[in-house]
Amino acid sequence: MDCHQCHQNHGSCGSKRSLRWLPFSENLTRPPIEPGGPQIALVGMPNVGKSVLFHALTDTYVTVSNYPGTTVEVTRGAVTLGDRAVSVIDTPGMYSLLPISEEERVARDLLISESFGAIVHVLDAKNLGRMLSLTAQLLEAELPVIVAVNMMDEAQRWGLTIDREALVAKLGVPVVLMAAARNRGVDQLREALADRLASTSVPAVAAVG
Ligand SMILES: Nc1nc2c(ncn2[C@@H]2O[C@H](COP(=O)(O)OP(=O)(O)O)[C@@H](O)[C@H]2O)c(=O)[nH]1
Ligand SMILES: [Mg+2]
């Protein structure tokens, strides 16, 4: 069977990662991850719904591994965007890019050491004010941020409304309102991701003059 990371026999890539396999028919229809293609990271404070969103996006198998030298687990999978399969990472929760905990250090190191076509900053709609400080840090670090305001179902129950257009105008990046646990807004996020990756991808073959 092929490894979803390297598309080779698992023994030959040397990976020790555990894999959750799909039924054979689904495995056949899934587009392969582009070698050297873009990656997406889900980042944000703890308990905002990153892992729920990760599983809503990745209907294919995932790998879970300890970040090197730590006991912190990092989950990787693939999200299908149209006819592409793009690698996506669920990062440990972090409050700030200035790490205090081991989880925060791993999340920060991942963002620095790997290159990403899009960084989805997941926020809790009920605590926007507290969470936007991390958005500001990510933007300051010039990361390709897409803001996902999650838990809109709870916010609406609390009578809160979020002015998406105002957020877009203030932050200058795409903003998606969602309730990942109810599968609301997930398709809009896929569209925002596809747009972001399309606008940053380099043509495979350069024009020759
Ligand atoms: N009501 C509601 N709960 C959610 C939503 N997304 C996640 N949750 C819940 O929030 C909690 C934390 O989610 P989790 O994905 O583990 O957060 P993480 O720490 O950011 O990975 C869990 O109990 C989820 O079921 C949502 O959109 N609406
Ligand atoms: Mg999580």
Residue whose CA lies nearest to ligand 1 atom number 8: 49
Per residue of the chain (209 residues), give pLDDT as tens. Answer: 444 444 444 444 444 344 444 444 444 466 777 777 899 999 999 999 999 999 999 976 789 999 999 999 999 999 999 888 999 999 999 999 999 999 999 999 999 999 999 999 999 999 999 999 999 999 999 999 999 999 999 999 999 999 999 999 999 999 999 999 999 999 999 999 999 999 876 444 444 43
The reply to whether ligand 1 has any atom less than 6 angstroms from the CB of 99 is: no
pLDDT at 76: 95
pLDDT at 46: 97
In CATH, 6-199 is 3.40.50.970: no
Distance 123 CA to ligand 1 centre (A): 10
The reply to whether ligand 1 has any atom less than 6 angstroms from the CB of 109 is: no
Q: How many CA atoms lie within 13 A of 69 on its CB side?
A: 4
Give phi and psi for 86, each to the nearest 5: -120, 135
According to DSSP, residue 156 is labeled H
Report the atom number in ligand 1 closest to the C-alpha of 182.
27
Q: Which two tokens stand for residue 203?
A: 């043509």
Crossing angle of helices 50-57 and 186-200, in 10° steps, is 80
Write down the pTM of the prediction: 0.84
What residue spans define the domains of the chain?
6-199
